[in-house]
Amino acid sequence: MTDGYETADALGGEPDGFERLWTPHRMVYISGEEKPKTSAPGEDCPFCRAPQASDEESLVVARGEQAFVVLNLFPYNPGHVLVCPYRHVADYTDLTPEETVEVATLTQRAMTVIRAVSAPHGFNLGMNQGAVAGAGIAAHLHQHVVPRWGGDANFLPVVARTKALPELLADTRKKLADAWATAG
Ligand SMILES: [Zn+2]
Alpha helices in the chain (DSSP H): 23-30, 46-49, 55-58, 97-118, 152-159, 167-182
Would you give per-residue pLDDT tens digits along the chain (184 residues)?
334 444 444 344 444 444 444 444 444 443 444 567 778 888 889 899 999 999 988 899 999 999 999 998 877 788 989 999 999 999 999 999 999 999 999 999 999 999 999 999 999 999 989 888 888 888 999 999 999 888 776 554 444 444 334 457 888 899 999 999 898 8
Note down the domain range covering 145. 8-179
User: Is 3 a domain residue?
Assistant: no
Give the number of domains in the chain: 1
State the CATH number of the domain containing residue 92. Answer: 3.30.428.10
> Would you name the residues annotated as active-site residues?
142
Ligand 1 center from residue 49 Cα (angstroms): 7
The residue among 40, 65, 42 whose CA lies nearest residue 138 is 40
pTM: 0.76
- Residue 71 CA neighbour count, 13 Å, CB half: 28
In contact, 58 and 68? CB cutoff 8 Å? no
Ligand 1 center from residue 76 Cα (angstroms): 22
Ligand 1 center from residue 120 Cα (angstroms): 30
Query: SS3 for 171?
Result: helix
